[in-house]
């Protein structure tokens, strides 16, 4: 695959554990941190067709398996982490911008309706792909369109309607990288918007194990139910496997308590799913993405 001509940073056999919330897992065959969109397009154009491509944001909601990730992991860093109000309550954001940055920039511009992004630990690229949501709202409610780079380097803008959003799901093709998105809110008072963001931040702090190595919500809420409740009913609160544990604070969170491997974390999740199915008849679906080689 070498040599590539790039301006950004390209690393072979790059350890990924430090880049994900769980702090576990193997290395990427290649990790590319592009300088800008043109650099990323040029890089994709030099890759062998069929090479797997995966975008990495803040690394929440993700288990990188211990055998590492084949192909190329693209990490959208600072050059893609901007958010600005472009008028008419529309926010234009880079794929690497965090939920906190987008919601606070919207607040300062008097744009309401994006407060819930304060409660999503991730970047624009991740929550556009997953239809991320929190506190009764989801990305499908605010997305206008997004700019994608396909693995072959082609650049397309896709309207929200074409993403076929459903709960924590979109029709974004595998390997497509979200490099930018536009969100539309409504006019609001920065003080009231800020108060709502503070309320969301406090609610998260109270209910979620934020100061631990975790991945965010582990399982999707089943139709008409709450995943955490089912996990609790199945007696899994505090359950441990290797160095991984079901959080005692919020049972829909797994935590890396003691140098867990990714196999510990994923195995614990599967054991929870088994116990919940046995006890309640409900098969929980993973919300956390699991990628790479076992």
- Which residues are catalytically annotated? 168, 217, 287
- From residue 57, alpha-carbon distances to 4, 32, 122, 221 in Å are 23, 12, 7, 23
């Amino acid at each position: 695959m070498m040599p590539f001509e790039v301006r950004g940073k390209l690393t072979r056999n790059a350890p990924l554990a430090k880049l994900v919330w769980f702090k576990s897992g193997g290395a990427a065959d290649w990790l590319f941190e592009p300088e800008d969109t043109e650099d990323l397009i040029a890089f994709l154009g030099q890759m062998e067709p069929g090479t797997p491509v995966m975008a990495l944001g803040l690394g929440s909601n993700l288990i990188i398996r211990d055998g590492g990730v084949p192909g190329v992991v693209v990490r959208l860093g600072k050059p893609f982490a901007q958010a600005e109000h472009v008028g008419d309550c529309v926010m234009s954001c880079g794929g690497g911008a965090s939920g906190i940055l987008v919601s606070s920039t919207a607040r300062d511009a008097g744009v309401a309706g994006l407060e819930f992004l304060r409660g999503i630990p991730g970047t624009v690229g991740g929550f556009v792909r997953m239809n991320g949501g929190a506190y009764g709202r989801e990305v499908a409610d605010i997305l206008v369109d997004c700019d994608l780079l396909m693995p072959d380097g082609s650049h397309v803008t896709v309207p929200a309607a074409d993403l076929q959003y459903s709960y924590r799901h979109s029709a974004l093709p595998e390997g497509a990288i979200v490099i930018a998105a536009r969100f539309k809110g409504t006019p609001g008072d920065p003080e009231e918007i800020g108060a709502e963001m503070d309320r969301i931040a406090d609610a998260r702090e109270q209910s979620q194990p934020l100061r631990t190595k975790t991945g965010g919500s582990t399982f999707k809420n089943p139709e008409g139910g709450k995943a955490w409740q089912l996990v609790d009913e199945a007696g899994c609160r505090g359950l441990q496997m290797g160095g991984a544990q079901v959080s005692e604070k919020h049972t829909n969170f797994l935590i890396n308590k003691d140098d867990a491997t990714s196999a510990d974390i994923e195995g614990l999740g599967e054991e929870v799913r088994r116990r919940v199915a046995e006890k309640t008849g409900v098969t929980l679906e993973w919300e956390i993405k699991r990628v790479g080689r076992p």
